[in-house]
């Protein structure tokens, strides 16, 4: 099993450009999450999904959109990138609905917006 | 609402010394608590978690943590540090059933440096 994979690993954008980050998991997990990691702030939840075809906003959703057309994939889109979106983005997935479930993280995407 | 405070953004220990990383939480419901480790340029990996039952939880790589409800703490320890333990460590509490599904609320992280 590959677990959780993310594409791309690195990206540099100019302000105003758009891009999509892809997350894939092969563990048949229902829940998927997108976090951003900024120095001294831990990880903050951007959007999440509780199943195929569903998405919901997290703590910091502004400037991002997501889609979950297939159970194994969760896409994060930036329509018009801003320097404030320079960050490391992590995707995670978990099996079920309980708060005890372990979240499995991908390796991250390092995004720089100039 | 849940929150996590990690005391000390950087901790430095000598190889072979005790590792103690501090975590205090706030939760309006019985907490589920996690420690994750992040090695350089990698994703987060679960070290251990507390759900219910025994308050002393053992994890991977010789780490353990004790849930102390009276102190609202979940400190991470390892008796003897190894160079390979150098990483960033995150404490997290599960905000289950809340506004954001079962999201994790993370602390700011503690970078552990191990000196030879």
pLDDT tens, residue by residue, B11-36: 999 999 999 999 999 987 788 999 99
| DSSP per-residue letters across B57-81 | EE-GGG-EEEEETTTTEEEEEESS-
Closest CA to B34 of A65, A99, A37, A15: A99
- Tell me if B84 sits within 8 A of B29, measured CB to CB: no
**Is the predicted pLDDT of residue A56 greater than 70, yes or no?**
yes
Question: How many residues in total does chain B contain?
Answer: 116
Query: B97, A108: Cβ pair inside 8 Å?
Result: no
pLDDT value at position B97?
A: 63
Q: How confident is the model at residue A45 (pLDDT cuts 50, 70, 90)?
A: very high
Residue to mutate among B25, B44, B96, B108, with most A CBs inside 10 A, is B44
Task: Write out pLDDT tens, residues A86-95.
Answer: 999 999 999 8
Instruction: Please tell me the distance in Å from A54's CA to the nearest CA on chain B.
Output: 12
Set of chain B residues whose Cβ sits within 8 Å of the Cβ of A41: 108
Q: Is A58 on the interface with B (CB under 8 A)?
A: yes
Contact B104 A43 (CB under 8 A): yes
Across the range A11-40, mean pLDDT stands at 95
Contact call for residues B59 and B47 (beta carbons, < 8 A):
yes
Task: Give yes or no for residue A23 having a pLDDT over 80.
Answer: yes
Secondary structure (3-state) at A84: helix
Using an 8 Å Cβ cutoff, are B6 and B21 in contact?
yes
What does R_g of chain A's alpha carbons equal in angstroms?
A: 13
pLDDT higher than 80, residue A80:
yes
**R_g of chain B, CA atoms, integer Å:** 14
Mean pLDDT (chain A, rounded): 93
Residue of A nearest to B39 (CA): A107
Residue ranges of chain B with pLDDT lower than 70? 97-101
Chain B CB within 8 Å of residue A33 CB: yes
Of B34, B42, B96, the CB nearest to A98: B96
- Judged against a pLDDT cut of 90, whether residue A114 lies above it is answered with yes
Q: Using the predicted structure, report yes or no on whether residue A104 has a pLDDT greater than 90.
A: yes
What pLDDT is attached to residue B100?
62
CB contacts < 8 A, A to B, total 68
Kindly list the residues from chain B whose CB atom is less than 8 angstroms away from the CB atom of residue A48.
100-101, 103
- Of the candidates B4, B42, B102, the beta carbon closest to that of A101 is on B102
- More confident: B28 or A58: A58
């Amino acid at each position: 099993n590959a677990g959780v994979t993310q594409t791309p690993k690195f990206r540099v954008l100019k302000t105003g450009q758009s891009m999509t980050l892809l997350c894939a998991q092969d563990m048949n997990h229902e829940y998927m999450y997108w976090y951003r990691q900024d120095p001294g702030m831990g990880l903050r939840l951007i959007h999440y999904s509780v199943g195929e075809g569903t998405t919901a906003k997290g703590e910091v959703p502004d400037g991002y959109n997501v889609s979950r057309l297939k159970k194994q994939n969760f896409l994060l889109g930036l329509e018009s990138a801003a320097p404030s979106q320079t960050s490391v983005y992590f995707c995670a997935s978990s099996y079920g609905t309980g708060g005890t479930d372990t979240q499995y993280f991908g390796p991250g995407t390092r995004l720089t917006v100039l | 609402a849940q929150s996590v405070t990690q005391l000390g953004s950087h901790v430095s220990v000598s190889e072979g010394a005790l590792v103690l990383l501090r975590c205090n939480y706030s939760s309006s419901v019985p907490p589920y608590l996690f420690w994750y480790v992040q090695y350089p340029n990698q994703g987060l990996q679960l070290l251990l978690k507390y759900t219910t039952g025994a308050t002393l939880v053992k994890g991977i790589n010789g780490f353990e943590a004790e849930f102390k409800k009276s102190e609202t703490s979940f400190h991470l320890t390892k008796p003897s540090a190894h160079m390979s333990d150098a990483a960033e460590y995150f404490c997290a509490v599960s905000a289950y059933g809340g506004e954001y599904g079962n999201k994790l609320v993370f602390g700011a992280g503690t970078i552990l440096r191990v000196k030879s």
